[in-house]
Amino acid sequence: MTEHLAEVDFQENRRQVLYWRLLARLFDHEEQAALESSSVAVVTDVGLPRELLDQRTSVDSIVQRHPELAAEFDDLMVPAADPEDEADDEDEADDGGRDRAAEVRRAALVSKILLNVFSTGSGSVSAERLSRWQSDAGWLERALGCRPGGLTSGRHGVAGMPGGGSGSAAPDLSNLAPAIGSELGDLEADLVSRMRLREVLADPHLAARLTPSMSLVEQLLRDKGNLSGLALANAKALIRRYIDEVAEVLRTEVEKSSAGALDRSVPPKRVFRNLDLDRTVWKNLTNWSPEEERLYVDRLYYRHTARRTTPQRLIVVVDQSGSMTDSMVNCTILASIFAGLPKVDVHLIAYDTRAVDLTPWVSDPFEMLLRTNLGGGNDGPVAMAMARPKIAEPRGTCLVWISDFYEFDRSQPLFDAIREVYRSGVKFIPVGSVTSSGRQEVNPWFRERFKDLGTPVVSGHISKLVRELKTFLA
């Protein structure tokens, strides 16, 4: 028993050394010799490479040299599915069934990911450094049971749940994802702001190292007026790559919707691909000849494929002030996807202190984004003055208003106009923001009044807006 307790203390002390080193390096970039030498001894003793302790080495590099570690990083930090599981773990600890040595190994891997992601240092950032951080952030997401990009770019968010890692079931990170997703976004934004972006874009070799992300696209859109020539061309290429990636995910989500009820007033098209073979056989069973063992068919039956749809007008108004960049990018892409659906008439208006009608370019989100001017304040009544003339048939119109609704001295006029439009029969959907992480901030004054009006603010996750729109258009 004494030997067992000594072993437990030994392993626990080794695990604490690794975590104390992690905390020390997160809050103080200077190495502490005692912690460093002790950590090297621990990592080596559990059979892990010493590169785990070198922050300059990415997780990708380690996995390339030691492929067997890839599986250990996947789902490494997935939280326990049930509080009872943790109780079971404690029981196992009392019985000596807990693998303390494995916990030390896990602590080394966890420390590597957390240090590489959350200790970003200071000073200028190279394109290679940004790319390495994005890769390490992807490994953090995998460790949490998400696909790379799942917490920061919306790739899990569109579906509403994180994509699973190597485990059989995806963990429920609904509470954890917004906090970590926003934190990763802030870290990436800081790295991008410390990068000499114009110099990087002017060099094709350096520009090729950049991985498009929301933070990078935001910076490019803000700086596009100062770019020209090769730098501008590289910036546009990065923006288009990001748009195409997000559009692919959003398009899949939109296409999951029902296309509407079958319209049986339209006769089915009599072509072979619409032939209802089961029904045809069933209806002609009375023509079966036992002697000849043959079924004589005197009538063919076809499936209905035409669906009843009603022309709908979708008006999307997006606040393009500085805090709403994520929403602006997501909504221009979403509007272009809905514009491609049959019998849906989509209009898009962007505003800050002025409003601009982007409807002529609604089918091309890239062109729409290049025509935006991020930043400035809010003047919702200006946008409403542009939107109201577009409402021809109120009950066939959906008005989606995406903003944090911080209008300063224009709150009451905007709400009065929205209430009047809503009471005319327009389907009004207020959205706090449309972000990849689901984070949103909404003026409490507007939130309460929209709730009283019967149109509560939709959560900031884009998947919820997609569901609302699909319900209206079905």
The domain segmentation of the chain, as residue ranges, is: 2-252, 262-308, 312-473
Whether residue 43 is predicted with pLDDT greater than 80 in this model: the reply is yes
**So what's the pLDDT on residue 219?**
80
- pLDDT attached to residue 308: 47
| pLDDT computed for residue 216 by the predictor | 83
One-letter amino acid for residue 373 of the chain = N
**What is the mean predicted confidence (pLDDT) over 158-164?**
36
What mean pLDDT comes out for the span 448-470? Answer: 78
Least confident range of 170-184, 299-313, 329-343, 414-428 = 170-184
Q: What is the mean pLDDT of the chain?
A: 77
Instruction: Indicate whether 420 pLDDT > 90.
Output: yes
CA distances from 218 to 74, 369, 431 (A): 30, 10, 20
pTM of the complete model beyond 0.85:
no
- Of the listed ranges 104-118, 164-178, 304-318, the least confidently predicted one is 164-178
pLDDT of residue 192: 82
Q: Are 11 and 103 in contact (CB under 8 A)?
A: yes
Question: Residue 229 and residue 389: Cα distance in Å, rounded?
Answer: 40
pLDDT at 385 over 90: yes
Is it the case that residue 392 has pLDDT exceeding 50?
Answer: yes
312-473 CATH choice from 3.40.50.410, 3.40.630.10, 3.40.640.10, 1.10.10.350? 3.40.50.410
Higher pLDDT, 213 or 202: 202
Helix/strand number for the chain, H first, E second: 19, 7
What pLDDT is attached to residue 323? 60
pLDDT at 417 over 90: yes
Residue 282 burial (C-beta neighbours within 10 Å; 0-12, 13-18, 19+)? exposed
Give the DSSP per-residue string, 284-346: TGGGEETTTTEE--S---B----B----EEEEEEEE-SGGGHHHHHHHHHHHHHHHTSTTEEE
Q: How many residues does the chain have?
A: 474
Residues 5-21: what's their mean pLDDT?
81
- Going by pLDDT thresholds of 50, 70 and 90, the confidence category of residue 253 is low
pLDDT at residue 168 tops 60: no
pLDDT (average), residues 98-114: 88
